[in-house]
């Protein structure tokens, strides 16, 4: 199970909807991901496997987390799905290298 | 019976029940229903605690400002004004919000206005404004809840249409609408943009200093601005007055602590709001997707930020400048009430206005559109502030454009028809 943080600046409206959409995508596809919704203050409060947030925030946070999924249209499930699959692919490859 | 009435007159329990209905409608498991309901109620209680803390800190600021300048300095910070309204009319506000959600679904189902307004905190803030407007007209509680709820639901379903032509330009699709109650302002900004420039005037050459990104952090921008404001007020009020309010704290340290305290209260308030709207928003999404064909989600403003991140920063600066100009005019014209522009509102609302102006007029449109919206965010609250003061809502106001335009229109209409009914 991976831990994902869905966040925006205040952790209110936009990331709330993003979280709802991300959970829909995860449920439909059965991805092994646990979602927590908060604001960016929780970025360093625990260890996240990935952070899903709006594309314009990525610049500020990309160095602080192992993997980011930037989303342009928060209601676009296809875009969210592509982003999460990119993460799962990345994890598969890195775990191979470690072996 | 007494037990039930006492239970249901608690706004938190009411909101919890609504979220329980939402969870059951989504056919969630029993433990999810229990968990979601409990978290909604607890969230609402946290929201109340934040409201009280914010109200206390705001009270200190108002006293210092009044003593220092002999005029009222009003913080145009929607959360602070909400805190005051919540402390006074909590249950009515909650009921207006609930009726508003239901009315939004009904309007979207049965009229051509198909927007589902998903920004929960804005529904809450607008419910506060409508409650205060109706209460200022001395409308009774039942009528306030019904009229307020219907106006809220109608605004939610229809107003996003104003900005939709520009939303299509910004996002390149018609899938999402803007769910942020400055829609009249955003449409205006888009229109101004089309008059002063063209989208080809792009802003790739704009480079902003790194420290400006501080203001992207909501909490920090509030803390910084409030510390500065507290120091201005405290120094104007002088050592003696400030020391009296500060008690055992040194008067020079007091403004710093109060500014931080204000931000802390804000964070508690927001954490509570986030918790109590989470389940309701999820239910709202699920119900509209299932039962309302062709409905369109209206989403919070940062949803458009990825499409033009530079326009957000430029729009923030330009709208804050507009707000300062508006404040300067209030000082020059010796107004007895001064509206103080808020940095966080300028960032989110002004930044969004910048994105709209940019979509039609490039950097020229961005600057012009957000400047005008910046003026409106500070000037428009003057219209509703006097009636709100009579209700004891002092020292904070609701800046957003739609709250003031719709609120003022409603206020005038009710005042006009009230003598006829009676």
The DSSP string of B355-397 is HHHHHHHHHHHHHHHHHHHHHHHHHTHHHHHHHHHHTT--SB-
Q: Which residues of B touch A72 (CB under 8 A)?
A: 306-307
List pLDDT tens digits, range B63-101. 898 888 888 889 998 989 999 998 899 899 999 999 999
Q: Which residues of A touch B122 (CB under 8 A)?
A: 13
User: Is the Cβ pair B299, A74 closer than 8 Å?
Assistant: yes
Using only the alpha carbons of chain B, give its radius of gyration: 21
CB-nearest to B278 from A10, A16, A40 is A16
Both ends of chain B: CA-CA distance in Å? 34
Q: Which of B397, B410, B339 is nearest to B135 (CA)?
A: B410
| Confidence band, pLDDT 50/70/90 cuts, at residue B205 | low
Instruction: Tell whether A13 is within 8 A of chain B (Cβ).
Output: yes
**pLDDT value of residue B144:** 95
User: Is the Cβ pair B175, A54 closer than 8 Å?
Assistant: no
Mean pLDDT of B367-396: 94
Name the domain count of chain A.
1
> What is the C-alpha separation between B185 and A52, in angstroms, rounded?
30
As a residue count, chain A comes to: 99
User: Is the Cβ pair B121, A13 closer than 8 Å?
Assistant: yes
Instruction: Tell whether A36 is within 8 A of chain B (Cβ).
Output: no
**pLDDT value of residue A90:** 86
Mean pLDDT of B286-315: 87
Mean pLDDT of chain B: 90
- Tokens describing residue B383: 């219209």
Q: Is the dihedral of CA B49, B51, B57, B59 positive or negative?
A: negative
**pLDDT value of residue A97:** 67
SS (H, E, C) B174-189: CCCEECCCCHHHHHHH
Provide φ and ψ at B91, rounded to 5°. Answer: -70, -40
Mean pLDDT of B159-188: 93
User: Is the Cβ pair A56, B175 closer than 8 Å?
Assistant: no
CB-nearest to A12 from B121, B213, B309 is B121
CATH number of the structural domain spanning residue A63? 3.40.50.2300
CB-nearest to B217 from A9, A20, A75 is A9
List pLDDT tens digits, range B264-288. 988 888 888 888 888 888 888 888 8
Per-residue pLDDT for A99 more than 60? no
List pLDDT tens digits, range A73-86. 888 888 999 989 88
Instruction: Tell whether A81 is within 8 A of chain B (Cβ).
Output: no
Question: Which of A1-10, B59-68, B119-128, B340-349 is predicted most confidently?
Answer: B119-128
Report in angstroms the alpha-carbon separations of B219 from A37, B215, B274, B355: 17, 9, 15, 22
Task: Give the Cβ contact number of residue A41 at 10 Å.
Answer: 16
| Confidence band, pLDDT 50/70/90 cuts, at residue B204 | low
B93 by DSSP, 3-state: which? helix
Q: Which residues of B touch A75 (CB under 8 A)?
A: 175-176, 297, 299, 303
- Tokens describing residue B336: 């007895």
Task: Give the Cβ contact number of residue A33 at 10 Å.
Answer: 20
**pLDDT value of residue B411:** 96
| Confidence band, pLDDT 50/70/90 cuts, at residue A98 | low
CB-nearest to A72 from B118, B121, B306 is B306
> What is the C-alpha separation between B49 and B75, in angstroms, rounded?
20
> What is the C-alpha separation between B257 and B243, in angstroms, rounded?
13
Cβ–Cβ pairs < 8 A, chains A and B: 86
> What is the C-alpha separation between B392 and B387, in angstroms, rounded?
9
List pLDDT tens digits, range B149-167. 999 999 999 999 999 999 9
User: Is the Cβ pair B285, A70 closer than 8 Å?
Assistant: no
User: Is the Cβ pair B297, A75 closer than 8 Å?
Assistant: yes
Per-residue pLDDT for A62 more than 90? no
pTM: 0.87
What are the residue ranges spanned by the domains of chain B?
2-421
**pLDDT value of residue B325:** 96
User: Is the Cβ pair A71, B306 closer than 8 Å?
Assistant: yes
Domain that holds residue A75: 2-98
User: Is the Cβ pair A71, B120 closer than 8 Å?
Assistant: no
Q: Which residues of A touch B282 (CB under 8 A)?
A: 20
**pLDDT value of residue A46:** 80
**pLDDT value of residue B6:** 81
State the ipTM, two decimals.
0.76
């Amino acid at each position: 199970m991976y831990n994902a943080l869905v966040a925006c600046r205040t952790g209110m409206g936009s990331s709330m909807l993003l979280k709802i959409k991300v959970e829909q995508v995860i449920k439909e596809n059965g991805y092994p991901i646990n979602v927590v919704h908060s604001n960016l203050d929780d970025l360093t409060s625990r260890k996240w496997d990935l952070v899903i947030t709006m594309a314009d925030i990525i610049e500020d946070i990309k160095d602080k987390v192992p993997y980011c999924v930037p989303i342009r249209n928060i209601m676009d499930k296809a875009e969210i799905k592509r982003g999460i699959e990119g993460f799962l692919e990345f994890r598969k490859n890195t775990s191979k290298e470690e072996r | 019976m007494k037990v039930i009435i006492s239970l249901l007159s608690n706004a938190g329990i009411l909101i919890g029940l609504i979220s329980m209905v939402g969870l059951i409608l989504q056919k969630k498991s029993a433990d999810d229903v229990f968990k979601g309901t409990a978290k909604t109620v607890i969230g609402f209680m946290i929201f109340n605690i934040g409201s009280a803390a914010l109200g206390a800190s705001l009270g200190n600021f108002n006293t210092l400002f009044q003593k220092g300048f002999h005029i009222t300095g009003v913080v145009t910070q929607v959360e602070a004004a909400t805190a005051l309204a919540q402390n006074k009319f909590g249950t009515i506000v909650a009921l207006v919000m609930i009726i508003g959600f239901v009315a939004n679904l009904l309007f979207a189902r049965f009229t051509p206005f198909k927007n589902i307004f998903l920004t929960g905190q804005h529904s809450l803030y607008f419910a506060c404004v409508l409650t205060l407007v109706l209460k200022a007209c001395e409308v009774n509680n039942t009528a306030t809840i019904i009229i307020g709820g219907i106006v809220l639901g109608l605004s939610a379903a229809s107003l996003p249409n104003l900005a939709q032509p520009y939303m299509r330009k910004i996002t390149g699709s018609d899938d999402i609408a803007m769910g942020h109650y400055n829609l009249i302002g955003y449409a205006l900004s888009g229109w101004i943009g089309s008059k002063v420039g063209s989208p080809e005037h792009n802003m790739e050459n704009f480079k902003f200093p790194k420290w400006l990104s501080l203001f992207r952090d909501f909490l920090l921008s509030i803390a910084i601005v409030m510390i500065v404001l507290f120091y201005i007020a405290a120094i104007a009020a002088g050592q003696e007055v400030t020391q009296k309010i500060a008690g055992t704290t040194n008067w020079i340290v007091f403004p710093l602590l109060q500014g931080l305290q204000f931000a802390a209260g804000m964070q508690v308030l927001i954490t509570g709001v986030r918790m109590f709207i989470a389940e309701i928003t999820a239910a709202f999404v699920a119900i509209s997707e299932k039962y309302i064909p062709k409905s369109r989600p209206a989403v919070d403003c940062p949803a458009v930020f990825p499409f033009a991140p530079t326009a957000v920063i430029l729009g923030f600066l330009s709208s804050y400048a507009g707000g300062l100009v508006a404040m300067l005019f209030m000082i020059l014209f010796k107004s007895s009430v001064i509206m103080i522009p808020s940095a966080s509102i300028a960032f989110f609302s002004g930044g969004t206005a910048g994105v709209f102006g940019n979509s039609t007029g490039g950097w020229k449109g961005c600057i012009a559109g957000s400047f005008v919206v910046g003026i409106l965010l500070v000037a428009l609250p003057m219209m509703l502030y006097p009636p709100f003061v009579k209700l004891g809502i002092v020292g904070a106001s609701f800046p957003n454009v739609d709250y003031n335009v719709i609120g003022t229109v409603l206020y005038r209409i009710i005042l006009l028809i009230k003598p006829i009914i009676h």
